[in-house]
Amino acid sequence: MTDVSITLGGTTTTGRVDAKCGVDEKATATNTRSYYVLMYPWFGQRVAPDKPQWRFDLSIRRGSTSDVSKEFTFSFLDGDRGATIQTIASSGTIGSGTVRVTRQGNGAKFEVEGLTKQGVPVRATIVCSAFHKGEAGGG
């Protein structure tokens, strides 16, 4: 399970969800694959009516000297509100921000902070207890 807290403007959304937290070892600093790929719901997953109906996606490219780069994409949508930050220069930037990754055992804590293109503040904390085995989607 994944603990999530996302603040968009002055409204915070929190929950414990069955998110996909993956690492793609085929990602390199020179290809377009994302090294870390987090998403809720998973591709093709049907979310039960009693579970959170919002969605998020965080993809982080691999850096040249570490497993994290400054290039990432974050998106959030809850039906009424949405936010996107993209710092991938070759794809065009949308808004601005940073992401910090802190490895924790078999998983990691991801902290996103930034502004949307419209200047709305975004803050997200996603704690993946463990990464799923196999190739991550979204590359």
In tens digits, the chain (139 residues) has pLDDT values of 899 999 999 999 999 999 999 999 999 989 989 999 999 998 777 878 887 789 999 999 998 888 888 999 999 998 888 999 999 988 889 999 999 999 999 999 999 999 999 999 999 999 999 998 655 444 4
The CA-atom distances, in angstroms, between 74 and each of 48, 120, 134 are: 24, 14, 22
Residue with tokens 């694959």: 33
Distance CA 111, CA 105 (A): 17
Q: Is 76 part of a structural domain of the chain?
A: yes
Q: Is 134 part of a structural domain of the chain?
A: no
Quote the number of domains for the chain.
Answer: 1
Distance CA 97, CA 74 (A): 10
Q: Is 137 part of a structural domain of the chain?
A: no
Q: Is 138 part of a structural domain of the chain?
A: no
User: Residue 56 belongs to what domain range?
Assistant: 2-128
Per the structure block, which two tokens stand in for 136? 């991550």
Q: Is 41 part of a structural domain of the chain?
A: yes
Q: Is 10 part of a structural domain of the chain?
A: yes
Q: Is 23 part of a structural domain of the chain?
A: yes
Is 4:40 a contact under the CB 8 Å cutoff? yes
How many angstroms from the chain centroid is the CA of residue 29?
18
